[in-house]
Amino acid sequence: MADSSSSIDQPSPRRLTPAPADEPAVVGLRDVQFRFGQGRGLQALSELSLSVASGEFLSLLGPSGCGKSTALRLAAGLLKPTSGEVHRQPDLRTGFVFQEPTLMPWASVFDNVWLPLRLAGQSAAQARDAVMQGLDWVGLADVARAYPRELSGGMRMRVSIARALVIRPRLLLLDEPFAALDEITRTRLDEDLLRIQREQGLTVMFVTHSVYEAVFLSSRIAVFSSRPGRVIASVSIEAPLRDEAFRGSAHFAALCRQTSTALREGMSS
């Protein structure tokens, strides 16, 4: 089935304003180490210090197995560090989008998006407006009664994003959500994600392996070393417009080269 994003109006260029340097951190990790299991378990992170300010779009970029996803789960409060500190602003409402959509195949799109509100005690009638708003944000209000098997990969990922947005989070965490999609669908979803961030005023942490995706989306990129992961470089992305002209510009190419160089250094460290 073709991705429904082809029927959505092309978004206008996205303006990203980096968060002020003195903006308090929404989430901060300080001197964090994380080891799976006990004793000789795999050490995923070592002396990781990282923070994200309100309104930032921070991408975590690094080689496979360097602990990016682990860092995201620590930021979400899903894991506890072996040592070090993780600070989250009080009552921080957080949405999480995993690499796979993880939808319930027996449930409709509406019911999949309703799930977090249902677990919070809201009936379908009580949650209807919020669920339909979430689906509207991702351009899928017209398929609320469809089932996951009827949707393309890109559409299923949109449902997963809507489910994360339905709780109206302040912090949105995404773990390589578009990695398995074709390039055209991925590009459209990148643009949609920037639109949603702008409209909802979200703070975003985004894990990716793609230098090009990170440069296009981010106000800042944290480059990780090989395992055990730590941040070895922070690349600020200064670009007033995020559009096709930016993708094809010499400035974009230079930023990609700068980031690629930092990534190569991370892989050899």
Backbone φ, ψ for residue 168 (5° rounding): 55, 60
> What is the pLDDT tens value at each position of the chain, 269 positions in all?
434 333 223 333 333 333 444 567 999 999 999 998 766 778 999 999 999 999 999 999 998 889 999 999 999 999 999 999 999 999 999 999 998 889 999 999 999 999 999 999 999 999 999 999 999 999 999 999 999 999 999 999 999 999 999 999 999 999 998 888 888 888 888 999 999 999 999 999 999 999 999 999 999 999 999 899 999 999 999 877 888 888 889 999 999 999 999 888 867 76
Verify that 134 and 246 share a domain, yes or no: no
Closest listed residue to residue 249, CA positions, set 219, 215, 221, 224? 215
Verify that 58 and 161 share a domain, yes or no: no
Verify that 230 and 243 share a domain, yes or no: yes
Q: Which residues contact 193 (CB under 8 A, 6 or more apart)?
A: 161, 174, 204, 206, 217
Verify that 84 and 182 share a domain, yes or no: yes
Verify that 84 and 159 share a domain, yes or no: no
Closest listed residue to residue 181, CA positions, set 154, 206, 208? 154
Verify that 118 and 149 share a domain, yes or no: yes
Closest listed residue to residue 207, CA positions, set 230, 177, 233? 177
Please, what sign has the CA dihedral across residues 163, 194, 61, 28? negative
Verify that 214 and 121 share a domain, yes or no: no
In a domain, 78, yes or no: yes
CA distances for 31 relative to 7, 64, 155, 246, angstroms: 46, 21, 39, 36
If residue 263 lies in a helix (H) or strand (E), which one and from where to where? helix 250-268
- Residue 262 structural domain: 47-92+170-269
Residues in a beta bridge with 142 = none
In a domain, 31, yes or no: no
Q: Which residues contact 248 (CB under 8 A, 6 or more apart)?
A: none
In a domain, 205, yes or no: yes
In a domain, 33, yes or no: no
Q: Which of these three, 114, 138, 169, is where a domain ends?
A: 169
In a domain, 18, yes or no: no
In a domain, 38, yes or no: no
In a domain, 11, yes or no: no
Verify that 212 and 107 share a domain, yes or no: no
Verify that 109 and 218 share a domain, yes or no: no
Q: Which of these three, 135, 154, 169, is where a domain ends?
A: 169
Verify that 243 and 159 share a domain, yes or no: no
In a domain, 83, yes or no: yes
- pLDDT at 245 (0 to 100): 86
Separation between Cα atoms, residue 51 and residue 22, nearest integer Å: 12
- pLDDT at 8 (0 to 100): 28
Residue whose tokens read 């999480």? 96
Q: Which of these three, 169, 185, 214, is where a domain ends?
A: 169
Verify that 161 and 175 share a domain, yes or no: no
User: How many domains does the chain contain in total?
Assistant: 2
Verify that 88 and 208 share a domain, yes or no: yes
CATH number at residue 213: 3.40.50.300
- pLDDT at 22 (0 to 100): 54
Closest listed residue to residue 157, CA positions, set 130, 178, 132, 182? 178
Residue 214, classed as helix, strand or coil, is helix
